[in-house]
Amino acid sequence: DAAAAAAAAPQDGGEPQASTNNGSPMLSRVRQVLDPVPRLRAKVVHGFGRGSKMLGFPTANMEVRWDLEQTPEALAPHEREILEFARSCQTGIYYAWAQVVDGKDRGVYKAAMSIGWNPTFTDVKAKTIEPWILHDFAEDFYDCELRIVVCGYVRPEIKFDKFDDLIVAIKEDGAFCGSALEAAPAAALAG
């Protein structure tokens, strides 16, 4: 259940700043396994268009029905679950398994997932859930259903003063998440 899964996730904290050394972010990353493991599903929607166009990392923006936050009884169970998870989990980077269940490519792939306010940018009005699926898809999969198994927490979200530092951090997050998903217990959750 989403409430138990969100309770297992680290809770929201402050907004740390990135420290740099020679222009490269120095971030502390951990493999904090989540128990129970949140299993979320949502429609892939258009985001701000920054992931692939500006940063070079295409993300799949998961629909979170903030518009119905005050009337959760109007939501389908899976919509309530992702809303509850987004509302109560700590912002930051997570490692996860991802599958586009009704797309042409239905493989299960590693993902580095950002949950939060994207503090480097100032136009985000609601918490977002944006997995960067570590796989090259042949085509877009907007409006398809994306399923995510959130295996663990990596680090809090951070405001970067320079885009170059953000890009380095995202690359490092992807490598860290890929490695974390190869280890137990996350590796067993891929199927």
The catalytic residue positions are 130
Alpha-carbon distance of 151 to 118, in angstroms, equals 21
Nearest one of 98, 119, 118 to 107, comparing CA atoms: 98
Burial of 11 (0-12, 13-18, 19+ CB in 10 A): exposed
**DSSP code at position 187:** G
Provide the sign of the torsion angle of the four alpha carbons 106, 37, 110, 14, taken in this order. Answer: positive
